[in-house]
Amino acid sequence: MARMVENPDLAFRLARAIVSDIALYNQDKVSEGIKSDSIFELMNEELEEGREHFFTRVSPEMKNRDQLYERAIVDVMIKQAGKIESQIW
């Protein structure tokens, strides 16, 4: 069994890696979601699966654990999709 991550920097790095993989394997859905402003609805299942994986690897006592994963979504998936034409920009 893998050790629980207790360092916030390492936890954030893990969250970014998980979200990066999600975005990589779902490029068409990410693009469609950005274009139609429905990214969170379209990617809900994948993002929740990633969140569950993140929570199994990061200590539940870590302060702001939820926010680390949310920030990774914005930093990795949303910001990198900024080049996609959309009415939300």
Residue-wise pLDDT tens digits, 44-62: 999 999 999 999 999 999 9
pLDDT tens-digit map of 61-80: 999 999 999 999 999 988 87
Q: Say whether pLDDT at 26 is over 80.
A: yes
* Residue type (1 letter), 1: M
CA 58, 63, 66, 69 dihedral sign is negative
Residue 1 confidence (pLDDT) above 70: no
- Which is it for the CA torsion 78, 82, 85, 89, positive or negative? positive
Mean pLDDT for the chain? 91
The predicted structure's pLDDT at residue 80: 76
